[in-house]
Amino acid sequence: MFEVNINADLGEMAGQDEAIMPYLSSCNIASGGHVGNSESIRKTILLAQQHDVKIGAHPSYPDSENFGRVRPNISDHQLRRSLKSQLRTFYEIAKKSKAEVNHIKPHGALYHDVVNNERIADLFLGILEDLQLKTTIYTLKNGFLHQKGRENHKILFEAFIDRNYNSDLSLVSRTDKNALIEKPSNVWNQLYKMAFLKKINVISGELIDINADTFCIHGDHPNALNILKYIQAELEKM
């Protein structure tokens, strides 16, 4: 069977972590900014260990009200304090659980801001330096986090199998009815093209180039389990 590196955002109280964990290569565990707490982090790390799935921290803007998907009006000092707290907590729990942290992946609005906003990318990388965290980062190709982080960190380019893309390779806004890909066969078609052909059909219908090392499905996707079962069945045919 061909192997494809599939990751998912877990520990987000979506109720299906146990079901989808066996189908993943790695998982990004909510670290308390948008959702989650010490107990949910510990339980998700334990679940990942049971299935030999690599773990990563998934820090976010401190914004539970909007699930970390909107940039809050906070100072850089407040953001640094929150992100340091999230990462310290995550790494402490991982150490107590005898789990190796494989990577870090920012969440939601922070994920996009470290790609598109040089100041936020610098702030984020400064936090990793302060905490002496030299690790793998999941991010988008050619963004500020990639460009400025590659000197000190291993970068894995990420693409999303359950979201539609615009022509500039930005994600279609969640406010758009076409943002989410729901049918398992359509998700598989997108994954196949991205992983094996290095191409993607964007929302306009154009077929354009894309380069990714790891492929994300959101853990709160309502059809995540069926999608992952479908993908595994298709990979077993190859």
Residue entry with tokens 């729990």:
93
- Ordered by start, the domain boundaries in the chain are 6-237
Hey, is 41 helix, strand or coil? helix
Question: What is the structure's pLDDT at 122?
Answer: 98
Quick: pLDDT tens for 74-127. 999 999 999 999 999 999 999 999 999 999 999 999 999 999 999 999 999 999
DSSP H helical segments within the chain, as ranges?
17-20, 38-50, 76-96, 108-116, 118-130, 144-149, 184-192, 224-237
What stretches in the chain show pLDDT beneath 50? Answer: none
Specify the pTM: 0.95
Alpha-helical segments (H) within 15-152: 17-20, 38-50, 76-96, 108-116, 118-130, 144-149
CA distance 85 to 231: 36
In this predicted structure, what is the pLDDT of residue 42?
A: 98
Q: What is the pLDDT of residue 3?
A: 82
Which pLDDT score is estimated for 159?
A: 98
Q: Give the homologous superfamily in CATH for domain 6-237.
A: Glycoside hydrolase/deacetylase (3.20.20.370)
Largest CA distance in the chain: 52
Give the pLDDT of residue 1: 52
